[in-house]
Amino acid sequence: MKAVLIIGLLLMLTGFYGLMTRRNMIKMVLSVAIAEVGLQMVMITAGFIRGGTAPILTKDITEMASFVDPVPQALVLTAIVIGVAVNALMLVFIIRMYGKKGSLDVRDYTDSKW
């Protein structure tokens, strides 16, 4: 699981690097999505137990220590749904902004006021 943790951290760093260095708004949205995937991988490794089983309670439970914590799994599922919604909203904003100015470069929107 160390490899998955390292890959997750590298994905987060790659996403943040892309967010800081890119000027194209679509590439910035993709960078945010890459960072989200890295964060989800880190959260999955936080709840991993080698040899663990699903926390389904039955009458013949013998050992409680072998259950995997379901909270990180639920958080990752929630993060996936929220991430898809946020990415879709960012893309809708980009489409609207492109329709007004005809550019995807962030520098062209410095004079815009909310």
User: CA-to-CA distance for 108 and 102, rounded, in angstroms?
Assistant: 10
Instruction: Inform me whether the pLDDT recorded for 109 exceeds 70.
Output: yes
Q: Which two tokens stand for residue 107?
A: 């520098």
Q: Identify any residues that bridge with 24 across adjacent strands, giving them in sequence order.
A: 105
Q: What is the pLDDT of residue 59?
A: 72
Tens of pLDDT, residues 45-87: 888 778 777 777 777 666 666 777 788 889 999 999 999 999 9
Cβ atoms 32, 87 nearer than 8 A = yes
How does the average pLDDT of the chain come out, rounded? 89
Cβ atoms 109, 97 nearer than 8 A = yes
More confident residue, 109 or 93: 93
Q: What is the pLDDT of residue 65?
A: 60
The model's pTM is: 0.83
User: CA-to-CA distance for 79 and 66, rounded, in angstroms?
Assistant: 26
Q: What is the pLDDT of residue 64?
A: 62
Q: What is the pLDDT of residue 46?
A: 84
